[in-house]
Amino acid sequence: MTGALATSRTGRAALMALAFAFLGLFIVAPLVAVFAGALSQGIAAYGGALVEPDALSAIKLTLLVAAISVPLNVVFGLAASWAITKFDFPGKNLLITLIDLPFSVSPVVAGLIYVLLFGAQGWLGPWLEAHDVQIIFAVPGIVLATMFITFPFVARELIPLMEEQGRDDEEAAISLGASGWQTFRKVTLPNVRWALLYGVLLCNARAMGEFGAVSVVSGHIRGKTNTMPLHVEILYNEYSFAAAFAVASLLALLALATLALKSILEWRYGVHGKGHL
Amino acid sequence: MDMPDISVEAGGGRRARRPPFVQPSVIPGFGLTFGFTMAWLGLIVLLPLSALFLRTAGMSWHDFLEVGFSSRALRAYELSFGASLAAGAVNTVSGLIIAWVLVRYRFPGERLIGALIDLPFALPTAVAGIALTALYAQNGWIGGLLAPLGIKIAFTRAGVVVALIFIGLPFVVRSVEPVLADLGADVEEAAATLGATPLQTFRRVILPAIGPALLTGFALAFARGVGEYGSVIFIAGNMPYRSEIAPLLIVTQLEQFDYAGATAIASVMLVAAFVVLLFVNLLQRWTRKRGVA
């Protein structure tokens, strides 16, 4: 496609130069800086920073939090999109808006609301303390905050697609005698599998990388309630820059892998994701 | 038993049956999926959010204004909203240029660059924060070039803007791209054939068509910037009254166990975020209507 504006050669060169300069400065340079920082003390120091016990426990906790919150997000996303796209009921748009709500809440506020609910000074704080249940400054709080932040991810990828696909396939399957569960498994799920994978991918990236919300509820207890992004912060504030960037480089690799898989889903399988994280 | 009086007054006829909540369908599973959706939404999102509002409602107006709009809080809002506006403005221009280049020009590595646009969505904010700080500090690659010119970015308010430009960039590009692709090059050719200069074509033909998408991208980037925490706190310097953003002030208050202060500031920000969200929704509805007409 070349239009009147696009055919001007100098215009084209100038716009491309501007675009590349901006992307170089704001996208490529930070990415390169992460890996350069990680390797600044040599490869041995890089490896050492990753196998250090606190780093390992941060990696384990991050994986654990994602392993709990992502599957729950998938179950919720499938249930919500089934209810919203296969049935007609009043207030549907309001429900969709409410599902999207966590996107417009600051991560710090997301953490704060759980502190107000479960913290020592919170509504349920005294009761939880009496029953010796710890949520804030412990793993359950981190999982809850992560679930809040990632709440819309799978649902918002599935709802537009299932809306577009309509109900004919499911209605046909049911009238041919399939049960609801069979219809879901053999008809709906294959229809939406790539969009579902897309949602899972973005959800997982955000779950593993969330910082603000998790930082408020975690209490930063080394080796116990530190996720990888929190571990990066602690190392950085202790001026262990190379170690901080080493752990950060793992998260950057996760981001690059996410982008690569996301692009493959878009190019090969035609997923038109919303993309926003 | 709902309101038996009305049916009597309605003329003694048979009471009209209330329409069912959900339209009848052969597809099963509404009760299960709808019930689960509502329960989960209530537990994870609505109940915790209402805790914030009930806490705020429990404060007197005087207290709320005193902590929610203290001079320190006002300076923090000023920085968070001001820097988000500035970064949004930069991103509106650069995002438009990048979207234009991606949609209109064919060049090698196009797909790679298209994919990299989403890096700020995928890269954890803390990683972005330390990387930008390393780059823009006075001994960094970019900060080192600017230092002789007397320009300081890291640990100043300018650093906040830099971080928010990074975070907000994909919103504008991704909002404008599809509209620009839909618009096609033929309208530009038509305008040029009719004697319009490139600048006239841009102002009279292209800008009106992509305006709403541009504004949506700006609003989304702005909303994200106001609440952003992870990428900003490393580069900002975090001096109270100077380079302290509103989300950081919430964290600081919490660390000092000042729950009232944190709650008041959080509800101010939440209301601001909802206003932006409402604006974006109205904008998108308006665009859709205009598209149909």
- The answer to whether A176 contacts chain B (CB < 8 Å) is no
Long-range CB contacts (within 8 A, 24+) of B141-146 = B141/A29, B141/A33, B142/A25, B142/A29
Residue B238 CA to residue A103 CA, distance in Å, equals 25
pLDDT digits (tens, 9 = 90+) for A56-66: 999 999 999 99
- The Cα of A232 is separated from the nearest Cα of chain B by a number of Å equal to 7
pLDDT digits (tens, 9 = 90+) for A102-117: 988 999 999 999 999 9
The residue of chain A with its CA nearest to that of B125 is A211
Residue A276 lies in a domain: no
CATH number of the domain enclosing A228: 1.10.3720.10
pLDDT at position B4, please?
Answer: 47
Tell me what the pLDDT averaged over chain A comes to.
92
Q: Which residue has the higher pLDDT, B8 or B136?
A: B136
Range of the domain at A175: 39-269
Which residues of chain B does A104 touch, with a Cβ-Cβ cutoff of 8 Å? 223, 227, 273-274, 276-277
- For B244-275, give the DSSP string: --HHHHHHHHHHTT-HHHHHHHHHHHHHHHHH
pLDDT at position B3, please?
Answer: 47
- If we measure between CA atoms, which residue out of B81, B75, B53 comes closest to residue B239? B75
Judge contact between A217 and A145, C-beta under 8 A: yes
pLDDT at A121 over 90: no
Which residues of chain A does B117 touch, with a Cβ-Cβ cutoff of 8 Å? 23, 27
pLDDT at position A9, please?
Answer: 80
Residue A13 lies in a domain: no
Per-residue confidence band for B8, with pLDDT thresholds at 50, 70 and 90: very low
Per-residue confidence band for A219, with pLDDT thresholds at 50, 70 and 90: confident
Residue A107 CA to residue A199 CA, distance in Å, equals 20
- The answer to whether A14 contacts chain B (CB < 8 Å) is no
The average pLDDT across A261-267 equals: 92
pLDDT at B16 over 80: no
The average pLDDT across A132-137 equals: 90
Residue A149 lies in a domain: yes
Tell me what the pLDDT averaged over chain B comes to.
89
pTM to 2 decimals? 0.90
pLDDT at position A5, please?
Answer: 52
Residues of chain B with pLDDT > 70: what percent?
93
Residue A210 lies in a domain: yes
pLDDT at position B203, please?
Answer: 86
Q: How many domains does chain A have?
A: 1
pLDDT at position A205, please?
Answer: 95
pLDDT digits (tens, 9 = 90+) for B128-149: 999 999 999 999 999 999 999 9
pLDDT digits (tens, 9 = 90+) for A27-50: 999 999 999 999 999 999 999 999
Centre a 10 Å sphere on the Cβ of residue B34 and count the other Cβ atoms it contains. 20
Q: In terms of C-beta density within 10 A (0-12 exposed, 13-18 middle, 19 or more buried), how is residue A18 classed? A: middle
The pair phi, psi for residue A90, each rounded to 5°, is -70, 150
Give the best residue of A7, A26, A241, A254 to mutate against chain B (max B CB count within 10 A). A26
Residue A119 lies in a domain: yes
Whole-complex ipTM: 0.92
B119/A259 Cβ within 8 A: yes
The pair phi, psi for residue B150, each rounded to 5°, is 80, 20
pLDDT at B15 over 70: no
Judge contact between A34 and A248, C-beta under 8 A: yes
pLDDT at position B287, please?
Answer: 76
Residue A21 lies in a domain: no
The average pLDDT across B275-290 equals: 81
The average pLDDT across B162-171 equals: 96
- If we measure between CA atoms, which residue out of A121, A153, A90, A222 comes closest to residue B122? A153
End-to-end CA distance of chain B: 46
Per-residue confidence band for B9, with pLDDT thresholds at 50, 70 and 90: very low
Range from A3-12, B77-86, B170-179 carrying the lowest mean pLDDT: A3-12
CATH 1.20.210.10 fits B64-292, yes or no: no
pLDDT at position B2, please?
Answer: 46
The average pLDDT across A173-201 equals: 94
